[in-house]
Amino acid sequence: MRLSLYQPDIPQNAGAMLRMAACLAVGADVIEPCGFVWADRYLRRAGMDYLDHVDLVRHESWAAFLDARRAGGGRIVLLTTGASIPHTGFDFRPDDTLLVGRESAGVPGDVHDAADARLLVPMAPGLRSLNVALAAAIVLGEGLRQTGGFPSGAE
């Protein structure tokens, strides 16, 4: 399983998600351009020394990400408030790539349409959305639980 960040805006969120990917032994992709300079101190502060342990691939664009994925296969599973399927009702596969959008704007229509599945995290009525890093953690946890993908010793 992989976690992919589409043009992240907030370095603290990106750092937190990359730290999570390192800790859970999940590969990560960053689809650029980012809304911050990659060397941002906030990215480093949130990711701490874990950033050196993540299997990270940076892609210069959405097209470059798609080109790289063709060789690897698997589904693109988009986390979006515009979905109708809750993550708890989805059958994850070990080769799924979970994709999160920009904090400020989500993903554009062509990215939304390219996803093989679109999932939402069920929330209380009338509220807009969770923080993107929290949503990623909730869904990634469920995906790893279903597929037995947690690192060994972490039951």
> What is the torsional sign of CA 43, 45, 46, 49?
positive
Q: Is residue 155 part of a domain?
A: no
Whole-angstrom distance, CA of residue 77 vs CA of residue 115: 6
Q: Is residue 153 part of a domain?
A: no
Q: Is 148 helix (H, G, I), strand (E, B) or coil?
A: coil
Q: Is residue 93 part of a domain?
A: yes
For the entire predicted model, the pTM comes to: 0.94
Q: Is residue 47 part of a domain?
A: yes
Q: Is residue 74 part of a domain?
A: yes
Query: For 16-58, how does the pLDDT look when each residue is reduced to its tens digit (9 = 90+)?
Result: 999 999 999 999 999 999 998 888 677 777 777 888 899 999 9
Query: For 77-101, how does the pLDDT look when each residue is reduced to its tens digit (9 = 90+)?
Result: 999 999 999 999 999 999 999 999 9
Domain limits for position 123: 2-147
Please tell me the total count of domains within the chain. 1
Q: What b-and-e string marks burial along 95-113, b requiring 16 or more CB atoms within 10 Å of the CB?
A: ebbbbbbbbeebbeeebbe
